[in-house]
Amino acid sequence: MDWVWSLLKKYIVKELERAGNAAPTDADLEAAFYQLLGDSTVTVLVQEPWQNSVRFKALEKGAVLEMMDLLNDPMTYLFERYGGGKYKLNFHQGWHFVATQNFKPEGEPRWHDAPEIER
């Protein structure tokens, strides 16, 4: 799950600075990281051809702490559920966008018939 820390670290440091902690300790960073995970959602989107362009179809959304399999091994998680494709994971804390990460497992796509969820 090191990739999640790398992805969220800049946001965490910025939020701590905004709250008045310009020199956070490792303990401060760790606490803020776990707090952010507890307050966040992740949305799984897939790039889909659409009208001579592309769009991102939302496949799944949930609380980060309920999607640990996704965070621990995103390539396997995505491939086993949806097959190959170009995926985007969007992290939000409440209404605030936090970060995004792309993944591209190789293989036959199986997501075409999956219903799109509301974002």
Residues 52-82 pLDDT 10s: 899 999 999 999 999 999 999 999 999 999 9
Indicate whether 114 belongs to any domain: no
Indicate the number of domains in the chain: 1
Q: What is the mean pLDDT of residues 86-114?
A: 96
Indicate whether 81 belongs to any domain: yes
Indicate whether 84 belongs to any domain: yes
CB neighbours of residue 66 within 10 Å? 10
Indicate whether 117 belongs to any domain: no
Indicate whether 15 belongs to any domain: yes
For residue 96, give its domain range.
Answer: 2-103
Q: DSSP secondary structure string, 3-68?
A: HHHHHHHHHHHHHHHHTT-SS--HHHHHHHHHHHHHHEEEEEEEEEEETTEEEEEEEEEEEGGG-H
> CA torsion 70→71→73→79, rounded to 10°?
30
Separation of alpha carbons 69 and 73, rounded Å? 6
Q: What is the mean pLDDT of residues 2-11?
A: 96
Indicate whether 51 belongs to any domain: yes
Indicate whether 59 belongs to any domain: yes
Q: What is the mean pLDDT of residues 37-62?
A: 94
Q: What is the mean pLDDT of residues 25-48?
A: 97
Supply the pTM of this predicted model. 0.91
Residue 43: the pLDDT is 98
Indicate whether 49 belongs to any domain: yes
